[in-house]
Amino acid sequence: MIKIQFLLKKPNNKQEGFEYITIADPKIDKTRKFDWGYRYVCEVYFSDTKKVFPHYGINPIDTLCSASEIAKIYCQNLLKNGCIISEVENQEPWRLEKLSDSFVQDRINQVKNSDIPQEYKDKILEGVDKVL
């Protein structure tokens, strides 16, 4: 499990809040089996929304990379909306580039054009819509 902790200050709130993102270990999703085998699932939890988003991949590394990319996009979207993200210990602001709309659209198009089953595409895109 990976836990990313940070201080989050929203633009309309003077108070900073302690938030975190948790990325669970990739596991084989045995609820579905395809001709070519099982898919791996990795759950991402965002503490400020209190929701879990599943991410699927063909191997554990691909799944973990996809989940960490969603965490990065989520943080970039917070920055785009005027939030300040800082280190917990020294309160140093994070250096993340602001998210551009074209970047998100490119990622969505990658998922739509991939060869994974439509059911998984729908789950991934549903998660992206909720995060953004």
What total of structural domains would you count in the chain? 1
The residue segments making up the domain with residue 96 are 2-131
- Give the pLDDT of residue 23: 93
Tens of pLDDT, residue by residue over 31-49, are 766 666 778 888 899 888 8
Task: Give the bridge partners for 122, in sequence order.
Answer: none
Tens digit of each residue's pLDDT (9 = 90 or more) over 57-71: 888 888 898 888 888
Q: Which amino acid is at 32?
A: R
Reported confidence tier of residue 128, pLDDT bands at 50, 70, 90 = low
Task: Report d(CA 57, CA 93) in Å as an integer.
Answer: 32
Closest-CA residue to 84 (of 16, 19, 18)? 16
Q: What mean pLDDT comes out for the span 82-88?
A: 86
